[in-house]
Amino acid sequence: MLRLKWIFATTLLIFCFGFCVLLLNLQDFCTICRKRIYSPSLRSATVRETFQLRPKIQCERNPPFLVLLVTTTHSQKEARNVIRQTWGKERLIGDKLVSTYFLLGAGTNPRLQGELTGESNTYNDIIQRDFIDSYYNLTLKTIMGIEWICTHCPQTTFVMKTDTDMFVNPLYLVELLVKKNQTTDVFTGSLRLHDAPIRNNHSKYYISTTEYPLAKYPPFCSGTGYVFSVDVAQKIQNVSSTVPFFKLEDVFVGMCLEKVNINLQNLHTKPTFHAYKKPFTICNYRKLVTSHGVRPRELYLFWDVLRRSRDEQC
Ligand SMILES: *[C@@H]1O[C@H](CO)[C@@H](O)[C@H](O)[C@H]1NC(C)=O
Ligand SMILES: *[C@@H]1O[C@H](CO)[C@@H](O)[C@H](O)[C@H]1NC(C)=O
Ligand SMILES: *[C@@H]1O[C@H](CO)[C@@H](O)[C@H](O)[C@H]1NC(C)=O
Ligand SMILES: *[C@@H]1O[C@H](CO)[C@@H](O)[C@H](O)[C@H]1NC(C)=O
């Protein structure tokens, strides 16, 4: 009888031990499988740390057709607010969603950074990383935008990079992109096919022969506004770290495109991306994608005139 009890106790003990081992293993297994299943979010959690501010959005739930990325600085709050009320307002054009985000580097002024954080909380449209925000770091700003697209919004079809001093007509742009009926290997804008480096050392665009020894730049599009399909964003992202840093961001992107064999193309037979300020008329601005050097007040005015004249014939 005692012997039987002893056997029973031992079996129970072995059973319990086995059960515990099994349970622990199961738990281990589950942590592993959870890691596997959720690895994208773990990855984005580590990516998130490289952004000081970034929008809380879910592009996979409601994929945009076009994302507008606007390079801006801390002090351009008024311009950002006007853009938010005009061409940068999130809208459906037909069934195509268009959203706008602003790109910034690190601020040196704590008060302005505080205001920016406030803007980010209110509008959820700020993408910021902590490189020094300067004109010659525009390349880092653009690359940040492309990285953000690749990691947080690869579901978009097209991306546009533009500036704060621009008039952009997203309605006409979407119309032309839909008409084009090509959603991969697209890169378009105001084409610069034969530009040479400026060797005059008084120019803002001065490039020394040490910075760039060749007589000509590769083809690129003016940084005032260019548009590309999201696969091109992935390709640029892929090679951007292997291309030597170059302070003119539009030329730098041209260097990346040359490396991945993407050809620039016009979106229309007529010019639609203007790197200068096109004189304002209703008909001019209905049929353009960009106009450069437009101040916030003018921008608001132009947009309002266009909005109120929707039924007029051209
Ligand atoms: C660009 O940003 C980097 C990183 O913050 C900084 O080291 C560098 O000095 C900046 N360059 C310019 C020209 O401001
Ligand atoms: C768009 O392109 C696809 C194939 O690339 C073609 O089958 C389709 O007919 C085109 N649609 C229009 C409206 O041109
Ligand atoms: C600018 O270029 C001129 C002529 O090439 C040269 O004499 C001058 O020293 C340069 N100035 C600077 C600041 O590099
Ligand atoms: C990125 O580069 C890797 C290695 O060169 C290549 O296998 C991959 O297809 C590239 N991805 C894109 C989107 O070009």
Q: Which residues pair with 187 in a beta bridge?
A: 228
Question: For residue 296, is it within any domain?
Answer: yes
pLDDT of the residue at 27? 42
pLDDT of the residue at 151? 95
Judge whether 274 and 291 are in contact, CB under 8 Å: yes
Question: For residue 210, is it within any domain?
Answer: yes
What is the pLDDT averaged over residues 84-104? 97
Which atom of ligand 4 is closest in space to residue 238's alpha carbon? 1
In CATH, what number is assigned to the domain containing residue 144? 3.90.550.50
pLDDT tens, residue by residue, 238-247? 999 999 999 9
Judge whether 290 and 274 are in contact, CB under 8 Å: yes
**Which phi and psi (to 5°) does residue 129 adopt?**
-130, 160
| Portion of the chain with pLDDT greater than 70, in percent | 84
* Structural domain count of the chain: 1
Distance in angstroms (rounded) separating the CA atoms of residues 281 and 50: 44
Give the residue, out of 128, 137, 252, with the most ligand 1 atoms within 8 A of its beta carbon, to mutate for a pocket test.
137
Range of the domain at 94: 66-308
Given a cut of 90, is residue 181 above it in pLDDT? Answer: yes
pLDDT of the residue at 7? 52
- In this structure, what token pair is assigned to residue 52? 């000081």
What is the pLDDT averaged over residues 272-276? 98
Q: Which residues pair with 206 in a beta bridge?
A: 198
- Which residue has its alpha carbon closest to ligand 1 atom 11? 137
Question: For residue 11, is it within any domain?
Answer: no
Q: What is the pTM of this model?
A: 0.84
Question: For residue 24, is it within any domain?
Answer: no
Given a cut of 70, is residue 44 above it in pLDDT? Answer: no
Judge whether 54 and 148 are in contact, CB under 8 Å: yes
Under the banding of pLDDT at 50, 70 and 90, the label for residue 9 is low
Question: For residue 22, is it within any domain?
Answer: no
Question: For residue 2, is it within any domain?
Answer: no
What lies within 8 Å, CB to CB, of 132 at 6+ separation is 105, 106
| Centroid of ligand 2 to alpha carbon of 120 (angstroms) | 40
Cα Rg of the chain (Å, integer): 26
